[in-house]
Amino acid sequence: MKAFNSYDAVKKLTDRGVPEDQASEIINAIMVSKEHDSSNDTANNQGTKVEQELALIRKDIEILRSEIATKSELSEIKTELVEINSELKQDIANTKSEIKQEINDSINELKQDTANTKSEIKQEIDDSASELKQDISSAKQEATEAKLEFKEIKRDLLKWIIPLFVAFAVVLIVKNFPI
C-alpha cells in the first residue's frame, strides 16, 4: 500500500476548486479516521468511521452546492452582462442617430443662413447699385445743367466781349491812325 501524503491530498482538492481550509479539514478527518482504523477495529470505531465518512460526504455535498451556486451566479452575471451589452449597443446606435440628426440640422441651418446672407448681400448690392445709378444720373443731370449754364455764361460773355473787343480795336485803330 502506498504511503499517504496529506500535503498532496490537500493540493489535489484545492486543484479541484475546494478552498484550502476545507480541504485541510477533510484530509485531517480522513487521517483521524485512518488512525482509528489502525488502532481499533471495534464496532464503535466502525460507527465513527461511517460518521466521519458521512461528514466528509456532507462536506463534499456542501462544496458541490457552493460550486453550483457559483455557476448559477456566473450564469446570472453573464445574462446581466449580455443585457448591459445590448443596452449599450442600443444607446450607441441612438447616440449616433442623434448626432447624425444634429449634424444634419446644423448643416440645414448653415445652408439657410448662407442663403439668407446671400439674399441680404444681393439686396444690399442691388440697393447700392440703384443708389449709385441714381447718383450717376444726378451727377449727369448736374453736369448737363452746368454745361448749359456754362454755355449761357459763354454766350453772355460773347455778347459783351465781342462788342468790347470791337470797341477796343476801334479805339486802338483810331488812336494809331489819326484821322
pLDDT tens per residue, range 23-77: 778 877 777 766 655 555 555 556 677 788 878 888 877 877 777 767 777 788 8
Q: Where are the domains of the chain?
A: 6-88
Q: Which of 7-16, 72-81, 99-108, 137-146 has the lowest mean pLDDT?
A: 7-16
DSSP letter at 19 equals: -
Give the model's pLDDT for residue 76.
84
* Statement: the pTM of the whole predicted model exceeds 0.75: no
Rounded-to-integer distance, Cα 126 and Cα 34, Å: 113
Residue 8 has pLDDT above 90, yes or no: no
Judge whether residue 149 has pLDDT over 60. Answer: yes
- Buried b / exposed e along 45-60 (16+ C-beta atoms within 10 A): eeebbeebeeebeebe
Query: Which secondary-structure segment (H or E) carries 1?
Result: none
Of the spans 12-16, 19-23, 27-31, 115-119, which averages the highest pLDDT?
115-119
Q: Is pLDDT at 126 greater than 90 in this prediction?
A: yes
Query: Residue 23, exposed/middle/buried by CB under 10 A (0-12, 13-18, 19+)?
Result: buried
CB contact set of 100 (below 8 Å; sequence gap of 6+):
none
Q: Is 40 helix (H, G, I), strand (E, B) or coil?
A: coil
